[in-house]
Amino acid sequence: MLNRYPLWKSLLILVGLALGGLYALPNLYPDDLAIQISGARSATVIDTQVLDEATHVLSEAQLDTIGIELTDKNVLIRVADSESQLQAKALLSDAMGEGYVTALNLAPTTPEWLTNLGAGPMKLGLDLRGGVHFLLEVDMVQAVAQRLDVYVSEIKSLLRTEKLRYRAVTHEVDGSLRIKFMDAEVRDQARSELKSNYSEFLMSAEDGDGVYYLLVTLNEFTVGEIEDYAVNQNLTTLRNRVNELGVAEPLVQRQGRNRIVVQLPGVQDTAAAKRILGATANLEFRLEAKPGAARVATEEFTFRSNPERKATLEKDLIITGNSVSNAQSNFDENGMPQVNIDLDSQGGKLMNRVTRNAVKRRMAVVFVEHKSRTKVVEVDGELVEQRQPYVEKSVISLATIQTALGNSFRITGLDGAGEASELALLLRAGSLAAPIYFVEERTVGPSLGQENIDLGLTSVQIGLALVIIFMLAYYSVFGIIANIALAFNLLLVAAVMSLLGFTLSLPGIAGVVLTVGMAVDANVLIFSRIKEELRAGLAPQSAIHAGYERAFTTIFDANITTLLVAVILYAVGTGPVKGFAVTLSIGIVTSMFTAIMVSRAMVNGVYGGKKLTDIKIWPLFMGVGK
């Protein structure tokens, strides 16, 4: 019988629409305004004492809350309005001190039964939810300089191993290494040895006053590799650190040759966000200096946990944190905290080379933090602000080497489980391959985000209303069916966006508006085909069947070509372009389902299996019938 779906197909469509409604439902539950209190360091304990102190501060200020939650990572305080949120944030920031981060946030209100089913609202981008935007710049000069510092230690170790006497290995300001010899023959032997071990070196000789120098520089290919590695490693490290925050849908991506964009939706405090991101730091592994060691070969450091405690270390590096592939904190057989370290192959080789001759000596893990301060200086008679970078170094741990180390070893002698957890987390997240500096900070307020949402919803409503009016006026009963299918399409777009965790941005709303217009395109083709078949003399049932069957190929081809363009936009685009491409792609796929399958099911329900002499598919101003 024409225009009748089998029961299984009708049930399949109903199940699909029901699931769409279920997973779109959380979007009806708006987030609450909230203040989040978390530790400034990942090892900071958030307990009932923190909760009680925050509650006491707000109670004294007579600020009402609508809910307070305590987890193992933060305290979340829900408030009724933005004014209360800002007041509570200011009070708690002063009361909690520098050991905690107090930031504006948004707390979900989705019912637990929906959450248990894996349902949640759409994630909103920075332009809709508000938050902070950072533009960071990677110091490429320091990236190469840090690698050269590692080469200095490696070259010294290699020359000592090969018993080639040298006077000094220095890192010059022009980015080269200068090796000083007292014998030309030894210099030539060293040159041959370095050439066989380091293909990336460019070497030249220089003589003067009985002193023989070997100048070492890196070739352009290696410099390019180091710079690319620095940016990519910093990207990975920042992503790992941001992921520890629990911020919904953060954005961390490369921009240009040496810059990185970080966007944290829902966070409104720039200073707090900087602390959340963590220090722009690296790690160094050094041996403790021997008693009586020459002062020029040593360096004194304070401990990060206790600045009054000091340690004298060798200037030569063993490895940096870049060589760490994994780190886990646990306890040794005596119940003392320790960190198990895994190194990459090159790091393991270097660690073994140094520590096999340093058993029973102590090795330090040094935390190296790159910072910058702004200073006003006079340039050409004008006062301008200049960024002056500086470095702070402190010892995290100082432990005795029990045996020669390789790719795996453990660090002991830590001050408690908190420090062990902190160190493991820092190593596991990865250290920065080069210093990064904040060159731009921008805050997008939640009020602006809400304004964008309101304007976006208004545009969708206007577009939807115009489409509904046109379809009703031009296609009568079939227009009603097309409009219902369009509503289901928007429902499915929201469900898919929510279920797959895609982020809705302002360009994404533009994609939804475009989808509203495109979603009825397939129905327009089908209904126009039905009209043509009726004019050709086919019976109404046959015309409906032919309209859907013969229009399918055209609809499929048109939507596939648009989908390909959307996929390409997503693949090559960034930021706003990706947001537009995502909603457009989802809208195309769901509109194919609703315009063909769902509308056909409704047409079958209205007309299927009936003896028809006429169908209401003509414009209202032309009357009903042919």
DSSP per-residue string spanning 5-19: --HHHHHHHHHHHHH
Residues 6+ apart with CB under 8 A from 400: 360, 361, 362, 363, 412, 413
Name the band, by pLDDT with cuts 50, 70 and 90, for residue 334. Answer: confident
What pLDDT score was predicted for residue 618?
A: 66
Q: What is the pLDDT of residues 356-411, one digit of tens each?
A: 888 899 999 888 876 766 677 777 777 776 667 778 888 888 888 888 888 888 77
Nearest Cα to 267, choosing from 280, 259, 276, 279? 276
How many other CB atoms are found less than 10 A from the CB of residue 36? 26
Does pLDDT of 79 surpass 50?
yes
Instruction: Report percent pLDDT > 70 for the chain.
Output: 87
- For 232, residues 6+ apart whose C-beta sits below 8 A from its C-beta are 254
Strands, E assignment, 147-265: 168-171, 177-181, 201-208, 211-218, 251-255, 259-265
Phi, psi angles (nearest 5°) of residue 593: -70, -50
pLDDT (average), residues 26-30: 87
**468 contacts 279 by C-beta, under 8 angstroms:** no
- Token digits of residue 24: 């779109």
- Confidence band for 286, pLDDT divided at 50, 70 and 90: very high
Instruction: Find, among 287, 307, 430, the residue nearest to 356 by Cα.
Output: 287
Q: Which helix (H) or strand (E) is 285 found in, with range?
A: strand 281-287
pLDDT score recorded for residue 41? 58
Q: Of 97-101, 185-189, 255-259, 323-327, which range is least confident?
A: 97-101
Report residue 278's pLDDT band, with 50, 70 and 90 as the boundaries. Answer: low
Distance, in Å, from the CA atom of 267 to the CA atom of 104, rounded to the nearest integer, reads 5
Mean pLDDT (the chain) is: 82
What is the model's pLDDT at position 625?
43
614 or 586, which is more confident?
586
User: What per-residue confidence (pLDDT) applies to 418?
Assistant: 66
- Quote the pTM value: 0.60
| 267-294 average pLDDT score | 72
Helix, strand, coil percent content, the chain, rounded in steps of 5 = 50, 25, 25
Q: Which domains are present in the chain? A: 7-26+446-622 (1.20.1640.10), 34-103 (3.30.70.260), 141-222 (3.30.1360), 279-443 (3.30.1360.200)
Question: Has residue 585 got a pLDDT over 80?
Answer: yes
Q: What is the pLDDT of residue 267?
A: 67
- Listed in sequence order, the DSSP H helices in 501-598 are 506-519, 521-535, 540-572, 576-592
CB atoms within 10 A of CB 306: 11
DSSP secondary structure code for residue 536 in this structure: T
* pLDDT per position as a tens digit, 553-584: 888 888 899 899 989 988 887 667 888 888 88
- pLDDT of amino acid 17: 92
Portion of the chain with pLDDT greater than 90, in percent: 7
- CA dist., res. 339 & res. 349, Å (int): 20
Which residues have C-beta within 8 Å of that of residue 103, sequence separation ≥ 6? 35, 36, 38, 89, 267, 268, 269, 272, 273, 276
